Each structure stands twice: as C-alpha cells, then as structure tokens.
Amino acid sequence: MSAWQLCGVPLGGPILNGSGTFDAIAARRAFGDALLEAFPFDLFVSKTITLEPREGNPPPRLWETPAGMINSIGLPNKGLEGFLAHDLPRLAELPVPLCVSVMGFSRAELELLVARVAERDEVSLLELNVSCPNVETGLIMGAHPGETAAALERLRPLCDKPLVVKLTPNATDPAEVALAAEGAGADAVSLVNTLTGMALDPRTRAPGLGGRTGGLSGPAVRAVALAQVAGVAARISIPVVGMGGVSSGPDAADLIACGAAFVAVGTESFRDPAAGRRIGEELRELGVDAPRLSPQTA
Ligand code: RRO
C-alpha cells in the first residue's frame, strides 16, 4: 500500500502538475519512452476539457511578466468526444494515475461531462475547474459559494470517483467557497488557479495578450497561494492540493506547512519539463516524506 493517497488513490509521492501546464502527449512525442521512465509527477492532471471543441484565444497567448507569466489560452481542446477518443487512451499510458479536469458553462453541461468521464476506467479522479461563468446565472461558478454548492450537489450523485474542486483565487473569500464545496460533497480542493492580470504592449500601450486579460502564475503569486492555502486548509477537513509559484522543494514544503497535503507544479514546468521530479527529490531531502493520508483513508 502506497504511503501517499489522495482521496484513496495511491500515489508514489506528493507532486502533481497544475492542469494545463504540462502537455504529456507532446512531451511523449518529444522525449519518447524516456518520459515514462522518469515521469515528473505522481499524478497527472489533464488540461481542462469542455463539452464542445474550442479553438482558444487569439495569439499572443503567453506574456512574460516580472517573476511570472500571464496566460490567455482560452481553453483550446478537442471537446469531450475528441478527448475520449484521442487523448484519453494516450494519457492512460502514463505510469501514474490520471485526473481529468472538466469545465462546463452550465450545470447541465457539467453533468454530461462528469458522467461520461467518470465511467471511464482510465480515470482515477475528476477535477472541476470552476473558474468560468455559468451562462445561466452570469456568475463565475467558483467565485460564489452558492454556485459551487449547487453545481456539486447535482454532480455528486453522478460520480463515485473523487471530485477535486479547483478553486479560483479571484473570489472574495476562497475559504467560503471551499467550505461550500466540502458541504456539497467535494472530496478535495486544489488552489490556486491563476490570478486575473493584464500586460500592456510597451510599444502600443494596448493589451498585449490576444484575450486582453489573462491568468498570472509563477513566483509572482506564491505569497498569495500561501495565504489562500493556509486560509482554506484551516476551515475544511478534506485534503488540499496547494499550488502557486512552486519552483523548488522549499517552496513545496512551505505550502505543506500551510496545510497542503499535496503540491502541484505549474509554471516552472515550462522552464524545466523535469521540474516536478526535481522538486519531489528536493522535498524528500528536506525530510518531507511522511505519509499524509486523506481523512477518508487515514
Ligand atoms: O485555458 C486557459 O486559458 C486557462 C484555464 Br482553463 C485556467 O483554468 N487557468 C488559466 O490560467 N488558464
């Protein structure tokens, strides 16, 4: 039995990737089977998928900023059917359990996504990315405790696999949203998603990103992540996956000290695709290797 378990799913260690920050299918093309022999993460989280295929935002989609990066990717993906047919079989070849991240623009869309993804044996957990507007209410699902709870209450009966709610930092009180998620049946939360930001093109003083605004990540957000992880972990009893600007073992240890049971690496993987593995090793060297069992299995 593995020492590390996220909601009952045994893992080889505590390091995940942040959704959308590591393209495992492209990495396999680039590195071949060497990727599988030294896979950088203990659990792989897919890029968020939607019901319908999406092109994503116009370029530029990435902007370097002091100590960070702003992305305005806009959820390009093959849609549910394309993902199930083409990407899922390849992701199932990875040597670690798989978490599929989904986003719906209405509760009905989310229901369909969760039901279809959860029935696949290749999938161990589901992540609900709630950083999007509910087109029926106009509210960002993850910015309002009531919206988050209403979505989860409809999803919970459809899925017997663990549901991880990816919290947005762009909420008045993420801990209230986390509490609502826990009350409505979430098995874990992960945070932080990116902080809304903007970069101006110095030549034109117009927004540099094709999508105008984007999500700030990297070391620039680490202090925010520490505060939010500590605030959320103090209020809930389900496991917290912490992320935000982690680029070293000590950064990961800080998030764990703030209450995270697991740590995700995001922006650092753009600079160094093997960062997850290095950070896991640095964490072990720091002695942070005690098993942290989720309450359901402890
Ligand atoms: O695709 C994106 O632009 C994106 C998503 Br879905 C997200 O959850 N967070 C982010 O920074 N970018």
Q: What is the pLDDT of residues 235-254, one digit of tens each?
A: 999 999 999 999 999 999 99
Active-site residues: which are they? Answer: 132
Question: Does the pLDDT value for residue 37 go beyond 50?
Answer: yes
Confidence at 133, pLDDT banded by 50, 70, 90: confident
**Residue 218 in contact with ligand 1 by CB distance below 6 A:** no
pLDDT at 132: 81
> 10: exposed, middle or buried (C-beta count within 10 Å: 0-12, 13-18, 19+)?
middle
Tokens representing 102 are 């989904």
Confidence at 290, pLDDT banded by 50, 70, 90: low
Between strands 98-102 and 125-129, the pairing is parallel
Of all residues in the chain, what percent are helix, strand and coil, respectively (each to 5)? Answer: 35, 20, 45
**Residue 79 in contact with ligand 1 by CB distance below 6 A:** no
- What is d(CA 28, CA 18) in angstroms, rounded to the nearest whole number? 18
pLDDT at 207: 97
> From the alpha carbon of 57, which atom of ligand 1 is closest?
3
pLDDT at 298: 35
pTM reported for the whole predicted model: 0.96
Cα of 63 from ligand 1 centre, angstroms = 14
Question: Does the pLDDT value for residue 107 go beyond 60?
Answer: yes
Query: Which of 127, 194, 224 has the most ligand 1 atoms within 8 A of CB, as the residue to mutate?
Result: 194
Question: Is the dihedral angle over the CA atoms 123, 84, 184, 243 positive or is it negative?
Answer: positive
**Residue 76 in contact with ligand 1 by CB distance below 6 A:** no
**Mean pLDDT of the region 176-181:** 98
pLDDT at 3: 84
pLDDT at 135: 77
pLDDT at 242: 98
Question: Does the pLDDT value for residue 94 go beyond 50?
Answer: yes
Question: Does the pLDDT value for residue 295 go beyond 70?
Answer: no
Q: 40 CB contacts (<8 Å, ≥6 apart)?
A: 15, 17, 22, 265, 269, 273, 274, 275, 276, 277, 280
Confidence at 1, pLDDT banded by 50, 70, 90: low
Overall size of the chain counted in residues: 298
The owner of tokens 């986003």 is 103
Which parts of 54-144 fold into alpha helices (H)?
79-82, 88-91, 107-118
- What is d(CA 63, CA 68) in angstroms, rounded to the nearest whole number? 9
- What is d(CA 184, CA 193) in angstroms, rounded to the nearest whole number? 21
**Mean pLDDT of the region 179-195:** 98
ω into 192 cis (within 30 of 0): yes
Q: 170 CB contacts (<8 Å, ≥6 apart)?
A: 131, 140, 143, 193, 195, 196
Confidence at 294, pLDDT banded by 50, 70, 90: very low
**Residues 106 and 136 sit within 8 Å (Cβ to Cβ):** yes
| Cα 163 to the center of its chain, rounded Å | 12
pLDDT at 146: 96
Q: How far apart are the first and last CA of the chain?
A: 12
What rounded mean pLDDT belongs to the chain? Answer: 94
Cα of 73 from ligand 1 centre, angstroms = 6
Question: Does the pLDDT value for residue 134 go beyond 80?
Answer: no
Cα of 196 from ligand 1 centre, angstroms = 10
Q: 83 CB contacts (<8 Å, ≥6 apart)?
A: 46, 49, 77, 100
**Widest CA span in the chain:** 58
Question: Does the pLDDT value for residue 292 go beyond 90?
Answer: no
**Mean pLDDT of the region 252-279:** 98
**Residue 50 in contact with ligand 1 by CB distance below 6 A:** no
Question: Does the pLDDT value for residue 232 go beyond 80?
Answer: yes
